[in-house]
Amino acid sequence: MKRILISLCMMAVTAFAAGAQAQSRSPVSDVEAMREMMRGFNPRGQAGLSRLVQDEAQQFCSDPGWRRNKARIAAIEKQQLAAVKYPADGKLMGNWQAGERVAQSGAGKQFSDNPSQPSGANCYACHQLSPQELSYGTIGPSLRNFGKTRGTSEAIQRYAYAKIYNARAYSVCSNMPRFGHSEILTEQQIKDVVALLLDPNSPVNK
């Protein structure tokens, strides 16, 4: 019994010393962290190391206290919205059937994907859309009856297009991919997804 108590005491002292040593270490700088990340990842196909480099909005959202900086949140959202590129032809809605195919597809941007082929949005991974789809994620809100409840006014079309193009324009640290900003979807694909959300004939609104 005495040996057991001695062993437990030694283990406690060792753990305390290790904890004290860890606390005495200097915090890792952003430069050092980025250097280690660059060392730990290898580019493969279209998945290059440039994806590890954060832009201003991503850097802001990496700060644990970002929610407290209301002024900065508003400034970044305004900046992100101003950078949205709306279609030159002024048409914001495409074909909802094509939009459904984009929503169902999870292909694109992975190292094993063919970069010459169009990417999908994989919308069902995070949202409920069509009632016929039984498997969908719940990270994002349900989009059932999106157009049915909001209508199809130009303002709603512009909102839906911008939200898909760059969700951070409305929610600075949104988990939603910036499909247009990051060139994941083409302009036409975004139009088609807008139609999927708003067209009265779309299954989303049935």
Instruction: Name the one residue in this structure whose structure tokens are 């067209």.
Output: 199
Secondary structure letter of residue 142 according to DSSP: P
The model's pLDDT over 16-26, given as tens digits with 9 standing for 90+, comes to 545 555 455 67
The model's pLDDT over 17-65, given as tens digits with 9 standing for 90+, comes to 455 554 556 777 878 877 888 888 888 999 998 888 999 999 999 999 9
The model's pLDDT over 75-85, given as tens digits with 9 standing for 90+, comes to 999 999 999 99
Cβ proximity of 136 and 203 under 8 Å: no
What whole-number percentage of the chain has pLDDT above 90? 75
Mean model confidence pLDDT for the chain: 89
Which CATH code is given to the segment(s) 96-205?
Answer: 1.10.760.10
State yes or no: pLDDT of 1 exceeds 80: no
Cβ proximity of 196 and 129 under 8 Å: yes
Say which amino acid occupies 17. A
pLDDT for the residue 8: 42
The model's pLDDT over 101-137, given as tens digits with 9 standing for 90+, comes to 999 999 999 999 999 999 999 999 999 999 999 899 9
Mean of pLDDT values over 148-162 = 98
What whole-number percentage of the chain has pLDDT above 70? 88
Instruction: Looking at the chain, list the stretches that DSSP marks H as alpha helix, in order from N- to C-terminal side.
Output: 2-24, 30-40, 56-61, 70-82, 96-104, 146-150, 154-165, 187-198
6 confidence band (pLDDT: 50, 70, 90): very low
Q: Where are the domains of the chain?
A: 1-40, 96-205
pLDDT for the residue 25: 64
68 confidence band (pLDDT: 50, 70, 90): very high
pLDDT for the residue 78: 98
